[in-house]
């Protein structure tokens, strides 16, 4: 696998973190749905809560689908749409998330970024973000480019 640029690694880290947070949010919504169902609420309140849970699941699904596609594209996968299609198939979507997360983790570790439970190390990702900006210096200050084409070997001339 070829080496990714700083901007690609940054995109991988950001989308991996998004996907992991969305996965955590979807688990919370599902647990919330079970809790609402267990309370035995009926009538209009139950209908409103059910609609909110369905809307939250739909929103999480749409955002995670976009994040999966962006992550696959940043990892330079041959067919990024294959991951998107697999994200809609029950049970296969879990395997798809596992596979793309493992690929993202491997790409981040190859670049020396420590990866934890919720994605890449935040400080390392912030350093990458600063380095990926055009004109950024390594020490965080403004970058200065020196043009050596006009430097002469002799003493300065007086005109």
Q: What does the pLDDT look like over 87-105, one tens digit per residue?
A: 888 778 888 888 999 999 9
For residue 118, what are the contacts with CB-CB under 8 A and spacing of at least 6? 17, 20, 21, 24
* 112-117 contacts, C-beta under 8 A, 24 or more apart: 113/9, 113/13, 117/20
Residue count (the chain): 159
Residue 137, pLDDT score: 54
Compute the average pLDDT of residues 95-118. 89
CA distance 75 to 3: 10
DSSP structure class, residue 158: -
Compute the average pLDDT of residues 113-140. 75
Compute the average pLDDT of residues 13-34. 89
DSSP structure class, residue 64: H
CA distance 59 to 133: 31
Q: What does the pLDDT look like over 125-134, one tens digit per residue?
A: 778 778 767 7
Residue 73, pLDDT score: 93
Which has more pLDDT, 46 or 18? 18
The closest of 149, 145, 148, 112 to 127, measured between CA atoms, is 112
Residue 81: pLDDT band (50, 70, 90) is: very high
Q: What does the pLDDT look like over 26-63, one tens digit per residue?
A: 888 888 888 888 888 778 888 888 889 889 988 988 88
């Amino acid at each position: 696998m070829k080496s990714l640029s700083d901007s690609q690694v940054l995109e991988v880290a950001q989308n991996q973190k998004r996907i992991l947070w969305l996965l955590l949010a979807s688990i919370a919504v599902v647990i919330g749905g079970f809790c609402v169902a267990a309370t035995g609420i009926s009538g209009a309140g139950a209908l409103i809560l059910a609609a909110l849970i369905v809307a939250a699941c739909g929103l999480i699904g749409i955002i995670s689908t976009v994040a999966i596609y962006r992550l696959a594209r940043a990892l330079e996968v041959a067919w990024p749409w294959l991951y998107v299609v697999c994200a809609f198939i029950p049970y296969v979507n879990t395997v798809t998330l596992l596979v793309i997360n493992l690929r993202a983790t491997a790409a981040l570790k190859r670049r020396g970024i420590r990866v934890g439970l919720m994605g890449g190390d935040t400080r390392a990702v912030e350093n990458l973000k600063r380095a990926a900006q055009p004109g950024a210096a390594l020490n965080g200050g403004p970058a200065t480019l020196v043009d050596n084409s006009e430097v002469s070997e002799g003493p300065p001339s007086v005109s």
